[in-house]
Amino acid sequence: MIRRCQEAGISCVEWESRRPPDEANIVLVTPESALGGDFRQFLSRQVMFQRLDRIVIDECHVMLNKSKTYRPQLQRLGNLMGVGTQMVFLTATLPPSAEDTI
């Protein structure tokens, strides 16, 4: 996805907390990383300067576990909706029967 965006001239980066990007139109992030303080600061900066078009969360199938003790921090992903940026949830392993749940 990053390569295809770059070929189309779209600024797209993968989130790495060790090396946060300065800016991006599209940012790809894992569910756990999307909850970190560094990522929230990055989002705030991007939104303030109107540079962020989409947040792409990969491996989103992990959010469907019904156990309250399995990765409980993932239940906070809904808080990202307040950023006001389009969110895209991706996974390669989601059964079609679970699409409505996501």
Expressed as residue numbers, the domain containing 73 is 2-15+22-92
CATH of the domain at 76: 3.40.50.300
**Is residue 100 a part of any domain in this protein?**
no
Chain-centre distance for alpha carbon 93? 17
Mean model confidence pLDDT for the chain: 82
pLDDT value at residue 67: 67
18 pLDDT tier (thresholds 50, 70, 90): confident
45-65 pLDDT, tens digit each: 888 888 888 888 887 777 776
pTM of the predicted model as reported, rounded to 2 decimal places: 0.74
Rounded Cα gap, residues 48 and 40, in angstroms = 12
- The number of domains in the chain is 1
3-state secondary structure of 29: strand
